[in-house]
Amino acid sequence: MLETTEAPMTVTHLPQTLEPRNPGMPLEMERVMRVRANRSAIERRAASLPGRRSLKKDFQAAWLARAISCIDLTTLAGDDTPGRVARLCAKAKQPVREDLLAALGLEGLTTGAVCVYHDMIAPAVQALEGSGIPVAAVSTGFPAGLSPFPLRVAEIGESVKAGAREIDIVISRRLVLTGDWEGLYDEMRQFREACGEAHVKAILATGELGTLQNVARASMVCMMAGADFIKTSTGKEGVNATLPVSLVMMRAIREYYEETGYRVGYKPAGGISKAKDALTYLALVKEELGDRWLRPDLFRFGASSLLGDIERQLEHHVTGAYSASWRHAIA
């Protein structure tokens, strides 16, 4: 649980690579098939979280600022333009108004990354030049992942050449639904190799995997194949990030770390739009994975509207009054 006795966290733009990358390991089918998920226990644990937060005043403001530093500020719309992306990047570099940052005593606060489609990588890279904020690109036939496999691999390569430092790939859900764990491992391994030095986030599309056991096994297989992050959703599914799914994925990450010594990142995406929800997810990360994961090289929110609500909460902390949402425009 997040306690008010903790000192607020220092928030600055942190280096993106603080850990050795997960190199993966040979697929161990016996290990994969041992994975189980007790749904009732998982749901009880997840249901207990929202009522257990005890963050107030300066402590809450500090944790909300940390949440901002872990946001992948995202635009994935069919009508994206270079101008819209440039405005989004400006918000990533200055996510909170200067007067609020001064009142809070914060400096150097940025979002964790900016996430766009392939065609918007170049304008994003240009807009973020010199900021240290990486560009993440969705790839591999996002969001369905049903384009021909050679094209999906080629898309990764093109995005890396265009300047993306992080690649969010989507797995083939059918491989999970049919229990083809060897196929999933091989697919993920090839995606990882195509990324080169760029970090790869494996999107599991958990809302389409059927069971929490499938989520747990898919998480383990993707980490065995070398995923740097595992991510819940594309944001386009009917059900996106949830606390039970997050608990399952975080425990898979913890187990993988205990067995291999490599830390894999976690990214919940889709449906997280309120500051109070961000605090709940941070509490879960702290309790299940520890403080080291509360940094942008190991934890991200896939969100945009979340930033606006956090900024409103920070203004309330400073002034005692809530402002209209239009005062905290994203782009």
Give CA–CA dist 301/241, Å, rounded.
Answer: 10
**DSSP 8-class letter at 99:** H
Per-residue pLDDT band for 118 (boundaries 50, 70, 90) equals: very high
Number of alpha carbons in the 13 Å side-chain half-sphere of residue 66: 26
Q: How many CB atoms lie within 10 A of CB 240?
A: 20
Question: How far is Cα of residue 130 from the mean position of the Cα atoms in its chain?
Answer: 23
Total domains in the fold of the chain: 1
Calculate the dihedral angle through the C-alpha atoms of 291, 292, 295, 299, rounding to the nearest 10 degrees. -90
Residue 152's pLDDT is 98
Its pTM stands at: 0.92
Locate 235 and state its tokens. 């944001």
- Is residue 37 included in any domain, yes or no? no
Q: Domain for residue 23, yes or no?
A: no
Tens digit of each residue's pLDDT (9 = 90 or more) over 203-228: 999 999 999 999 999 999 999 999 99
Task: Quickly state the pLDDT bin for 10 (edges 50, 70, 90).
Answer: very low
Q: What was the pLDDT predicted at 257? A: 98
Q: Is there a domain that residue 20 lies in?
A: no
Q: Which residues of 110-123 are buried (b: 16+ CB within 10 A; e: fewer)?
A: bbbbbbbbbebbbb
Q: Does the residue 69 lie in any domain?
A: yes
Between strands 166-170 and 199-203, the pairing is parallel
Domain of 310: which CATH number?
A: 3.20.20.70
CA distance 223 to 265: 10
In this structure, is residue 2 part of a structural domain?
no
Query: Is position 150 within any domain?
Result: yes
Counting DSSP H helices and E strands in the chain, the numbers are 13, 8
Q: What is the mean pLDDT of the chain?
A: 92
For residue 45, tell me if it sits in a domain: no
Residue 156 lies in domain: 53-328
Cite the active site residues: 168, 231, 267
